[in-house]
Chains A and B, each alone.
Chain A
């Protein structure tokens, strides 16, 4: 399971970076989405991945004996998913608007702000 997750994370990072290096606005978004998902999986992987362990301390005990499931990464991922959801929806609107105004989706042509004036 850990190996599988590690490989998937790697693929998501690699394809995300490949996509943001393309010149198209749409591929830029896809790249950012892929990277965002890659990082979520990475956080998941970084918590202790154990199957069937208790996530919280039993009522009577002071400490968990033996292996346990770490609940924190899931809380982190949940937060990160919500945040990236918001950002991605903003990004899609922004790029649609940019496409309508600039009338190109070629990133290399979105450069009138760099002109010497």
Chain B
């Protein structure tokens, strides 16, 4: 069976990272190998995506141990989409890192760690085993700790203390939840758990486990009362690192939410209400937080929080329409959020600052770049033909359909505040005259760079903008894909059958 393909998006970054470690001190070659390797990763994940589209959900039993006992890797449409987007973002960030991250950081193993991080992300997307998911989460966070502290500046260390503590706490809570689930069901395989959990008499314990999952994933994906570490730390590392964090790390939390709350705790009214109310608060408080910030990267950090709420709320609504909107929004959000942080790095290079007060004059000096950065910014707002608009139709529709008018108003509020913030960023960065403030640090500005390096600054932004444009203009394709995922998320029988084999006695 060619379902061996499932393991390649995990194995390849590992191999790549080993190769990069052998090139430890040779930064020049590391750059080239990293970018080339990211390209191969994209090809592999496209192959996986095409394979899943053709063959449907496929599972790989590691070491050929039969399903509930061994570790299962499952590639369904949702996972393969996320692996694909992750590798595209990885390619863009790899390109951006090659020029923007300082050589002193690269000498201490930036690229090997970066590719292990991508391996962890792919592993988390593809695993079908709860404890294995925990292990991938640990792989991701240990790499992110290294990336956030690499360089050892004061602000980085301060950010890292908060980031570290909360993420470690989240892992501990997640592990506690796994312990409770294991005690209840005696299984760690997600598909098996979803069958066992329905038979449990003591629903109270099941809800406790659900709350533990909610808190554990909530810290990771930045949901309302648990997100304060995010805006305190995401603006401290280099922009390339923030980009991969902002684009993918919080989304792994969202993915874990989707997986666990559709497979293990479906149709639990208490959980649903909890998700929706937390999401409403996330949207409102994230939007208000972004409103009062002046640092471009902090504005974007709060926008991450705000838009996480969009997806978590849809998960709470639990209708097919809501799920379709959620998946579409996830697809759009990964690309745009990665791009936003790359843009903040680009803006810093163009103007020497990320403070909204000091930046400006991009349109006067670089009209084409101004046009380029308008694409992701306006995609984020959701100006109609662009990508942010389409999922909102489903999301708004779903909240009307389920008469969740509080949620509907939060969506509208969040969208309008996003519009206002992006208008503010746009007018500050692009239209305003460049401020007279001298750049504080001795930054080499964009126009003093060699042409080759300039191209590498622009190229990843162009790449991700093109993907955004495709999501916007090819919305019908993405919408069909999201609807298929939504059907799979509601009717989990095909997932369970693929993992455990068709002989299982599965209740409808």
Residues of A within 8 A of B (CB): 20, 25, 28, 32, 35-36, 39, 42-43, 45-47, 70, 72-73, 76, 79-80, 83, 86-87, 90-91, 94-95, 97-98, 101-102, 107, 110-114, 116-117
Q: Which of the residues B154, B161, B294 comes within 8 Å of A117, measured between beta carbons?
A: B294
Contact of A76 among B131, B155, B233 (CB under 8 A): B131
Q: How many interface residues does chain B have, given as a range?
A: 35 or more
Bound: A111/B155 CA distance, A:
9
Q: Interface with A: B169-177, B320-328, B361-369, B477-485, which one? A: B169-177
Q: Tell me whether chain B's interface is mostly helix, strand or loop, or mixed.
A: helix
B152 touches A35 (CB 8 A): no
Contacts of B169 in A (CB 8 A): 20, 32, 35
Given A39-B172, A87-B141, A102-B158, 13 additional A-B pairs, CB 8 A: A32-B165, A35-B172, A42-B180, A45-B183, A47-B182, A76-B178, A87-B171, A97-B149, A97-B152, A98-B161, A101-B154, A107-B161, A117-B295
B165 with A46: CB separation less than 8 A: no
Known: A32-B169, A113-B236. A94 touches B142 (CB 8 A): no
> Which B positions have Cβ atoms within 8 angstroms of A?
131, 135, 138, 141-142, 145, 149, 152, 154-155, 157-162, 164-165, 168-169, 171-172, 175-176, 178-180, 182-183, 186, 188, 232-233, 235-236, 293-295, 355
Which interface residue of B152, B160, B182, B295 has the most chain A CB atoms within 10 A? Answer: B182
Nearest CB of chain A from residue B189's CB, rounded to whole Å: 11
Shortest beta-carbon contacts, A-B, top 8: A46-B183, A43-B179, A98-B157, A42-B179, A83-B138, A46-B179, A39-B175, A110-B158
Contact B157 A97 (CB under 8 A): yes
The one of B155, B165, B183, B293 that contacts A20, using a Cβ cutoff of 8 Å: B165
Q: Given the complex, which residues of B lie within 8 Å of A114, measured CB to CB?
A: 232
**A91–B145 CA distance with the chains assembled, in angstroms:** 9
Residues of A within 8 A of B355 (CB): 117
CA of A45 to CA of B236 in the docked complex: distance in angstroms? 41
Which one, B135, B155, B165, contacts A113 given CB within 8 A?
A: B155
